[in-house]
Amino acid sequence: MVFLAALASAQVRAQSAGAKVFADKAGRVRILLEDGHRYSIPGEPGQADIESVQTFTEGKMVGWLVDYANEGEPTLEAGKLIIFRRNRVIQRFDTDQLFLRWHFYAGGTKVTYCTGPTHGANYVCQLRDIGSGRVLTKWFHKNGEPEDDSRPDWVTALDQ
């Protein structure tokens, strides 16, 4: 009941079909799945907020980007991708830059995402296995090059 009261009174910052996911004032991530299951997990160290929530398999697998404050910058930056399933975090993907966008791929067994600098148009996209965390392949975009049909399918999936 306390969880439901917190959910009702908190501002939901990130939602996706099949789940409501948000970071509460204490920094915990609250997850309410479509089937009624509720979870509360500790936020990541240094987490300021979360964004870009997505669900897969009828809301039973959830992912989100963790936002961090960047000294001297007025906006938050997404620095980690979290994948949650069956009552626990099953994978954490980090970057030295920032996450630009991400998507579940290949039946929810993989994720695809692009990372890049705060300013500039160079970025790299990666296809990674959720179970092992292994990088399966990468695709690089350089400043000034058009984004055309030569992108792999797993990169174009990010446009959805």
Q: What is the pLDDT, as a whole number, of residue 58?
A: 64
How would residue 144 be classed by pLDDT, with cut points 50, 70 and 90?
low
Q: What is the helix, strand, coil percentage profile of the chain, to 5? A: 10, 50, 40
Q: Which two tokens stand for residue 120?
A: 């500039």
For the beta carbon of residue 97, count every other beta carbon within 10 angstroms.
17
Integer Cα distance of 153 and 157 in angstroms = 6
Structure tokens that stand for 44 in this block? 């990541």
Sign of torsion, CA 91 95 101 105? Answer: negative
Contact call for residues 128 and 119 (beta carbons, < 8 A): no
Instruction: Look up the pTM and report it.
Output: 0.83
For residue 104, give the nearest of 160, 151, 50, 150 by alpha carbon: 160
What does the pLDDT read at residue 94? 94
What is the average pLDDT across 61-65?
94
Does the pLDDT value for residue 73 go beyond 90? no
For residue 86, the model assigns a pLDDT of 82
Q: Is the pLDDT reported for residue 80 higher than 80?
A: yes
Return the structure tokens found at 16.
Answer: 């996706």
**Quick check: 125 pLDDT over 80?**
yes
Is residue 133 predicted with pLDDT exceeding 90? yes
